[in-house]
Structure 1
């Protein structure tokens, strides 16, 4: 499914096995997919929610107020800024998570994995003393927003200022 929309108040896409490719300007957008890949690009000022079971999701967005991504086994990739006080939350069971933030991002960063790795240019990765698990906490700028990433066995990679 390929969608291009100039300006809509709210957009919602539900998909079972095909891909979703959307370029939109919208206040709110939601995409649910079972096995198809998701690609969303555009300027989304409000809430963005992406749920996938086994497909990958790739997002290229302007500043967002609230971005929530969830995956069972698909990889999650997002390049986005945060609106003042905005949040970006992503969780995955076995898929990887990649987040690219702009150089001027202002956010607290919290990352946790059970058996996956963590790569970030900011903060220090800490390994649990007893048992598996890694975590990272860091701050960019004034720390106005929140970036919270959780993965059970997938790797988490953060980049800042990269295009």
Structure 2
């Protein structure tokens, strides 16, 4: 689970790895510093047992649009939604809907998640697809194509 560290002062430091739990046994040999070279130093083997308790980690939510995360580092922060006004220069591509991928995951695989969606105070929403399959995050290999429309 982790590697213990013994400081020069003789302090044993142990930090378990992230999301690890279980019992860790650390064998230690206690040896005295003998000032008389004619007397061999005595030693005693001991084992320090550390019980790292499993904790229930909270689920993590994600919101992406066009393959880019739109979540803030603080998940309680609101996500503003801006819909561009339809004009003559964008009416072929204009859409009155906002589409995003919303989901959540939990490092504790045995936990079951439920996402509750409330009605918005303005407008309406439609959930088009529900999936309980685990998602697979792949590295982005393509850059996002951005087009800028100029009004004439």
Q: Report TM bin, short chain.
A: under 0.3
Q: Which has the higher strand share?
A: 1
Could you tell me the TM-score, scaled by structure 1's length? 0.18
Rg (Cα) greater in structure: 2
